[in-house]
Amino acid sequence: TEDEIILFEREMKEFWTKLKSIYGTEQINQTLALRDSCKESIKVLSEKWSKKLKEGDLMIDKIQEYSNEILQQSQRISENQEHLTEIKSNLNQEEEQKKDLTDSIQELKEELMKKKEIISSKNKAAKERMERLCKSKVLFEERLGLEIRRIHNEQLQFIFRHIDHKDPDKPYVFTLSINEQGDYEVTSCTPPLDCIAELQLKVRETNNFSAFVANIRKAFTALSYK
């Protein structure tokens, strides 16, 4: 080190001082030449080792820098690995949700098809029932003095006459439709009858439509005498 070199030079000076008092000039000159040579060698060696030490410090700094960089890269790799794991987990969840959604859509399609079949069947039955009612039109007109009209929304209007003996042309009217459940449903009645709900319930239970129409006519007739 620098301190050791200074100490060494100080000791050398003391040594030469003592040496001058003991030896002659020639020997001293030889010794001085040897000393200068030694000092030069020490200087060269000191510069060499000083350079080596600096290079070593730079190498240590470089190694530390590389170590820090490797540590940062390891942290980034770890973070990326965690992010990748999270992405895979999300993808798996999305796949499961997609499968559940596909299953739900398939179930809805099947349910819709069943409902369509049921509605188609009910519509067919309602159409057939309405056709039978229309075919009975002549029979009802002849026997009950009844006029049947097909009006909007596939409804039938039943018009009774010859009920009120004071006014034979006075109409007594009720309107009938087939609801979504395929049942008979009275949508209007003029004049109103208190028993219409009961008669409607009975025809749904018995499916005897002729009796239903006849009973409504009887109710209108009874109403005309009040």
Q: What is the pLDDT along the chain (226 residues), one digit of tens a residue?
A: 667 778 888 888 888 777 777 766 666 667 667 777 777 877 887 788 788 778 878 888 888 888 888 888 888 888 888 888 888 888 888 888 888 888 888 888 888 888 777 767 766 766 676 666 666 666 666 666 789 899 988 899 999 999 998 899 999 999 999 998 889 999 999 999 999 999 999 999 999 998 999 999 999 999 988 7
Report the alpha-carbon distance of residue 129 to residue 151 in Å, rounded. 16
Give the fold, CATH level 3, of 145-225: Copper Amine Oxidase; Chain A, domain 1 (3.30.457)
pTM check: above 0.85: no
**What are the DSSP E strand ranges found in 52-204?**
146-151, 155-160, 172-178, 184-190
Give first-to-last CA distance, the chain, whole Å. 139
Residue spans of the domains in the chain: they are 86-143, 145-225
Query: How far apart are the C-alpha atoms of 176 and 188, rounded to whole Å?
Result: 8
